[in-house]
């Protein structure tokens, strides 16, 4: 979720997106919420590279024959071969595929040389859309040129992008071992996790059984700069690497996803602080962030009532 955006939006050296293709969204209301990957979320998967080949009756008119629809999504064979043994990481966000936070994060992942990096992110800024999904309108997908990664910009929300990216339809059958959402321009603490598209991107992956991290930087207008987002990406890498080790060892818990916030002075952050001690109050994540800590908060998919309210509702319902 974006707040007080910087004047510069894209690090230098990244080309504009190219190569259009089209995706049709199915009725999300009918899809089961625990199937993984969610291939039923798309009526036809990825279609032909020409967005005008949909003929209006639910079928695809392919001028080049039945072999064409896969051409727009086939990943380079050399890239696939060179990264075959590496874990797969997929990156999404809500600030858009050209946002510096995402680009710096991808740069860090690629520079590590230990991951296959996929990117599926909104083609424009979709901050603050929460867990909104595209229901009746077609989704459009365009290949983006990001060095070292296979990338697509999508005309949907962060949840759409996460759902599509983990489906196996977009990346030639590849599905991620870990989904990363961010790095967001603006913190996502407390109730902000409800409004945040960044958190929703991670939550969508988690719902389908994929380990996921949402990452945000506490941007402060007049104080923060685009370079701070680069530093935020750098300081998140040890956490990402540690989570991947746990995943590969079969030790990573499946009952939650992580919401990570990086303090404004990212270069001088304090040691990571957990932010879920009930005795410290609900806003411990924001207090710790302001104090200079990187905060890590485990989140679930559901919003439940406070424990002390349960007896009241039980008694109330028993009287009905």
**Under 8 Å CB-to-CB from 68, ≥6 apart: which residues?**
48, 49, 62
Cross-strand pairs, 4: none
- pLDDT at 82 > cutoff 90: no
User: What DSSP letter does each residue of 58-76 carry, written as one string?
Assistant: S-B--TT-TTGGGTTTPPP
| Predicted pLDDT at 73 | 54
- pLDDT at 20 > cutoff 60: no
Average pLDDT of every residue of the chain: 78
**Section 237-263 average pLDDT:** 95
- pLDDT at 53 > cutoff 90: no
The predicted model scores a pTM of: 0.74
- pLDDT at 24 > cutoff 60: no
User: What DSSP letter does each residue of 255-304 carry, written as one string?
Assistant: S-EEEEEE-SSGGGPEEEEE---GGG-TTHHHHHHHTTEEEEEEE-SS--
Alpha carbon distance 2, 192 (integer Å)? 11
| Predicted pLDDT at 160 | 97
Per residue in 144-160, pLDDT (tens digit) is: 999 999 999 999 999 99
Among 4-8, 211-215, 310-314, the range with the most confident prediction by mean pLDDT is: 211-215
Q: How confident is the model at residue 247 (pLDDT cuts 50, 70, 90)?
A: very high
**Section 245-250 average pLDDT:** 96
Per residue in 268-303, pLDDT (tens digit) is: 888 776 655 554 556 688 888 999 999 999 999 987
Alpha carbon distance 173, 150 (integer Å)? 13
**Under 8 Å CB-to-CB from 229, ≥6 apart: which residues?**
6, 100, 101, 104, 183, 185, 217
| Predicted pLDDT at 280 | 55
**Section 171-196 average pLDDT:** 95
| Predicted pLDDT at 307 | 76
| Predicted pLDDT at 276 | 56
């Amino acid at each position: 979720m974006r707040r007080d955006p910087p004047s510069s939006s894209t690090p230098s050296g990244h080309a504009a997106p190219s190569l259009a293709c089209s995706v049709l969204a199915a009725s999300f209301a009918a899809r089961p919420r625990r199937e993984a990957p969610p291939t039923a979320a798309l009526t036809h998967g990825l279609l032909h590279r020409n967005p005008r080949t949909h003929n209006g009756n639910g079928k695809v008119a392919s001028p080049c024959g039945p072999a064409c629809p896969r051409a727009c999504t086939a990943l380079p064979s050399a890239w696939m071969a060179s990264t075959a043994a590496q874990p797969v990481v997929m990156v999404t966000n809500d600030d858009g595929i050209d946002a510096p936070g995402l680009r710096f994060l991808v740069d860090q992942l690629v520079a590590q040389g230990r991951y296959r990096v996929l990117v599926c992110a909104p083609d424009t800024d979709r901050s603050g859309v929460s867990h909104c999904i595209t229901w009746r309108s077609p989704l459009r997908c365009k290949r983006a040129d990001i060095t070292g990664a296979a990338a697509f910009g999508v005309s949907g929300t962060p949840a759409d992008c996460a759902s599509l990216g983990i489906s196996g339809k977009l990346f030639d059958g590849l599905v991620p071992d870990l989904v990363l959402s961010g790095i967001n321009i603006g913190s996502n603490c407390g109730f902000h996790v409800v409004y945040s598209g960044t958190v929703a991107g991670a939550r969508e992956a988690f719902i389908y059984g994929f380990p996921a991290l949402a990452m945000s930087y506490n941007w402060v207008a007049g104080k923060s700069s685009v370079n701070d987002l680069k530093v935020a990406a750098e300081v998140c890498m040890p956490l990402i690497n540690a989570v991947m080790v746990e995943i590969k060892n079969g030790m990573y818990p499946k009952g939650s996803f992580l919401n990570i916030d990086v303090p404004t002075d990212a270069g001088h952050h304090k040691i990571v602080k957990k932010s879920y001690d009930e005795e410290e109050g609900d806003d411990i994540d924001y207090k710790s962030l302001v104090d200079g800590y990187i905060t890590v908060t485990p989140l679930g998919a559901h919003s439940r009532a406070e424990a002390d309210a349960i007896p009241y509702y039980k008694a109330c319902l028993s009287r009905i």
